[in-house]
Amino acid sequence: MPRRPAANRSFVRAAMQAPYLAREEEHDLAVRWKERQDQQALHLLTQSHMRLVIAVAARFRTFGLPMPDLIQEGHVGLLEAAARFEPDRNVRFSTYATWWIRASIQDYILRNWSIVRGGTSSAQKALFFNLRRLRAKLSGTGTVKTDDEIHREIALAIGVSADDVATMAARLSGPDTSLNAPVGESEGNGSDRMDFLVCSQPLPDEAVGSAIDGERRIRWLRQAMEVLNEREMRILKERRLKEEGATLEAIGERLGISKERVRQIENRALEKLKSALLDAHPEMSASA
């Protein structure tokens, strides 16, 4: 482990000493790799562009991740660019590869900078990687601005809401904190952050009680519906027991009666149901 810095320096030195490729050489290597899967051609092509990987990785040092890891992820992007590069498009490989190198490094940072994943959309990703630069630029104009004003200007520049900017700024300003971390300066006070989270869900015994009550009411309702005749049953099912209840007009057309008659049958069926339920379960009258 102590030898790693020296190894890193020798790797960077070797990458910087790799010869540049002329356009013709680069094209020939790309064709050999594309058409014949020539591993030697791939090695020479990527080796000559490792200085580009190091240069791109250096732009992201401020995010606090090890430089060797950033370079390694950039190399993954370089290999991806080599796999997708079309030599006949008359574009230099370095121009094409830069996007893949940067994208690979940025994805690595988003996955490892915090245990909470951020930058899930293109706008959020742009906000994550540009917030500090834009904030420093706006703060250095010589004009005194509040945080809200700066957040609004950044939001306008990137295309997100000011609330998103404020949230991202708060995330970038401090490290992740475990919910099991003790509250206060003393670690022996017996409380951690988890103890102060408010849960809106019912307690387990309440949830079980509600489920049992619901099943019982459904059973009672099915028994009470036996007092209805076929037409009353059909109307109630169409009107009350479907996710999107049918209209009075629609049911009337199907049954060949007026919508007013459908309303009368529905009201009568509901009264019969209520009477049947109260006769079988008098205790329901207290909560009705």
pTM of the predicted protein model: 0.52
Distance CA 127, CA 172 (A): 11
- Name the band, by pLDDT with cuts 50, 70 and 90, for residue 8: low
Query: Are 126 and 31 contained in the same domain?
Result: no
Length of the chain: 288
- CA–CA dist 163, 161 (Å, integer): 5
Structure confidence by residue, pLDDT tens digits, 219-243 = 888 888 888 899 998 998 888 888 8
- Same domain for 56 and 126, yes or no, is no
In whole angstroms, what is the distance from residue 162 CA to residue 150 CA? 9
Query: 15-19, 52-56, 210-214, 238-242: which has the highest mean pLDDT?
Result: 52-56
Provide the domain limits for residue 235.
220-286
Average pLDDT of every residue of the chain: 80
What is the tens place of the pLDDT at every residue in 85-134?
998 888 899 899 999 999 899 888 888 876 556 556 676 677 666 667 77
Same domain, 129 and 101: no
The answer as to whether 18 is a domain residue is yes
Do 157 and 108 belong to one domain? Answer: no
Q: Residue 263: which pLDDT band, with cuts at 50, 70 and 90?
A: very high
Question: Sorting pLDDT into bands at 50, 70 and 90, what band is 284?
Answer: low
Q: What pLDDT, on the 0 to 100 scale, is given for residue 61?
A: 85
In a domain, 205, yes or no: no
CATH number at residue 266: 1.10.10.10
Query: Which CATH number belongs to the domain containing residue 97 in this structure?
Result: 1.20.120.1810
Task: Express as a percent the part of the chain with pLDDT over 70.
Answer: 79
Which of 89, 112, 135 is at the close of a domain? 112
Do residues 128 and 99 share a domain? Answer: no
Q: Which of 3-12, 44-53, 167-176 has the lowest mean pLDDT?
A: 3-12
Q: Is residue 3 part of a domain?
A: no
- Does residue 107 share a domain with residue 151? no
* Confidence (pLDDT) at 199: 73
Asked if residue 195 belongs to a domain, the reply is: no
- Count of beta carbons in the 10 Å neighbourhood of residue 250: 14
pLDDT at 10 over 70: yes
Three-class secondary structure of residue 279 per DSSP: helix
Task: Specify the pLDDT at position 166.
Answer: 75
What radius of gyration, in Å, describes the C-alpha atoms of the chain?
34
122: tokens are 């293109």
* pLDDT, position 74: 93
Q: Is 19 found in the same domain as 103? A: yes
Final residue of a structural domain among 112, 131, 155: 112
Answer whether residue 271 is part of any domain.
yes
Place 267 in a pLDDT band, splitting at 50, 70 and 90.
Answer: very high
Last residue of a domain, one of 112, 131, 163: 112
For residue 210, tell me if it sits in a domain. Answer: no
Residue 4: what pLDDT? 47
Q: Tokens 């475990």 — which residue?
A: 178
Structural domains in the chain (count): 3
Give first-to-last CA distance, the chain, whole Å.
Answer: 75
Residue 101: what pLDDT? 94
34 lies in the same domain as 108: yes
The alpha helices in 140-229, defined as continuous H runs, are: 147-158, 162-173, 204-224
Based on the domain organization, do 97 and 24 belong to the same domain?
yes
Question: Does 1 reside within a domain?
Answer: no
**174 vs 167: CA distance, rounded Å:** 12
Does residue 17 form part of some domain? Answer: yes
**Would you say 165 and 155 are in contact if contact means Cβ atoms under 8 Å apart?**
yes
